[in-house]
Amino acid sequence: METENPANYAYMGRSLGDLSVNDHSFAFSDCNSDRSGEFTMASSSSSQSRRFLLASASENSDDLIRQLVLDLESCSVDERKQAAMELRLLAKNKPENRIKIAKSGAIKPLIGLISSSDPQLQENGVTAILNLSLCDENKKLIASAGAIRPLVRALKTGTSTVKENAACALLRLSQIEESKVAIGRSGAIPLLVNLLENGGSRGKKDASTALYSLCSVNENKIRAVQAGIMKPLVELMADFGSNMVDKSAYVLSILVSGPEAKTALVEEGGIPVLVEIIEVGSLRQKEAAVGILLQICEDSMVYRTMVAREGAIPPLVALSQSGTNHAKQKAEALIELLRQPRSGNGAPKQSHVSV
């Protein structure tokens, strides 16, 4: 599996580190356990509800968990719903329960629920798997039990909540390096791009976080570009009210190293948007935008001319005087690139990008 580290830009003998900000973790807070709240139990199961609440408050929920796993195989749809919902909440509320539930044999029957035609069963199955995947010890168990393809199908056909939670579950599984290729080859990338473009606020955030993780693998970068990711990324970067500028810029920063990605970004109007970010964005946004433009302009006199004509030099000069040390270095390097005179063959000065 070929993965790619963040690019390090060396210009005129200076190493500028990775091309975007040093730490993206602040922008990509991980998908946590389901955020649906403590929903009301079915009225027909009041005794089970009391049983669940008592076990949740108890230090020892082992007996309940074993019974719930058995109930997942019940002939009664209502019993399966109740069992999946209670396991979902047990895994959400007590981290130690996540290992207990996995060891009790719940993973395979919960994966079976992901393909259910009943929306509630499917949601509880997807979300229980998400909650279990929050435990690092469970990630390989879930992936090896065959969860990836059902989660990808749920990402395609489920309700908005199911799609969001499936995206989060795939993100968690993608934290195992070998799962990244399997997730990409299962068709997840175009569906995540669709969620990024058409989902609600939470769906867009979950999709961008999953794509950021998955696209550390080169073949997934290609899939994302082919799926049309540049259009929603540019649109979200242009919308400062979306709270998606940072996330979109960081996803873009790991995609734009390839020539196809650069072409697609330019065709979608990305250069004016990136210049605007340098003008009016936050310091982190400005630094990310400069890093992207450095990658675009490094080997292309045409793209440098386009960036310069968008009026990039004045805000770059301002950033070189008032930004962080890392941002100042990047801004200075980009200014030097943009000010290089055209040569007869359009060849740039010698510079190096190591990955």
Does 56 fall in a domain?
A: no
As a whole number, the mean pLDDT across the chain is: 86
Does 136 fall in a domain?
A: yes
Residues in Cβ contact with 330 at an 8 Å cutoff, skipping those fewer than 6 apart: 9, 16, 19, 287, 290, 291, 294
Q: Is 268 exposed, middle or buried (0-12, 13-18, 19+ CB in 10 A)?
A: middle
By the 8 A CB rule, do 17 and 322 touch? no
Q: Can you tell me the distance from the alpha carbon of 145 to that of 141, in angstroms, rounded to the nearest whole number?
A: 6
DSSP three-state, residue 38 = coil
Q: What percent of the chain has pLDDT over 90?
A: 75
- pLDDT, one tens digit per residue, over 318-334 is 999 998 899 999 999 99
Predicted confidence at residue 263, as pLDDT, reads 96
More confident residue, 22 or 136: 136
Mean pLDDT (whole number) for 332-349: 71
Q: Can you tell me the distance from the alpha carbon of 245 to that of 236, in angstroms, rounded to the nearest whole number?
A: 6
Does 50 fall in a domain?
A: no
Residues in Cβ contact with 25 at an 8 Å cutoff, skipping those fewer than 6 apart: none
By the 8 A CB rule, do 227 and 189 touch? yes
Q: Can you tell me the distance from the alpha carbon of 349 to that of 342, in angstroms, rounded to the nearest whole number?
A: 11
Does 48 fall in a domain?
A: no
Number of domains in the chain: 1
Does 108 fall in a domain?
A: yes
**Residue 129: both structure tokens together:** 């798997």
- pLDDT, one tens digit per residue, over 14-57 is 444 444 444 554 555 556 656 554 344 444 445 455 455 545 54
Predicted confidence at residue 60, as pLDDT, reads 62
Positive or negative torsion for Cα 320, 321, 326, 327: negative
Does 79 fall in a domain?
A: yes
Predicted confidence at residue 13, as pLDDT, reads 44
Predicted confidence at residue 16, as pLDDT, reads 46
Mean pLDDT (whole number) for 203-225: 96
Mean pLDDT (whole number) for 290-313: 95
Does 168 fall in a domain?
A: yes
What CATH number did the domain enclosing 74 receive? 1.25.10.10
Predicted confidence at residue 43, as pLDDT, reads 41
Task: Say yes or no to pLDDT of 3 above 60.
Answer: no
Query: Which uninterrupted H or E stretch holds 353?
Result: strand 351-354
Q: Can you tell me the distance from the alpha carbon of 124 to that of 147, in angstroms, rounded to the nearest whole number?
A: 14
Does 53 fall in a domain?
A: no
- Residue 242's domain comprises 8-26+62-354
Task: Say yes or no to pLDDT of 116 above 80.
Answer: yes
Task: Say yes or no to pLDDT of 345 above 50.
Answer: no
Predicted confidence at residue 12, as pLDDT, reads 42
Predicted confidence at residue 330, as pLDDT, reads 95
Residues in Cβ contact with 154 at an 8 Å cutoff, skipping those fewer than 6 apart: 114, 115, 122, 126, 162, 163, 166
Q: What is the pTM of this model?
A: 0.85
Apex 191 CA angle, 187 and 196, nearest 5? 145
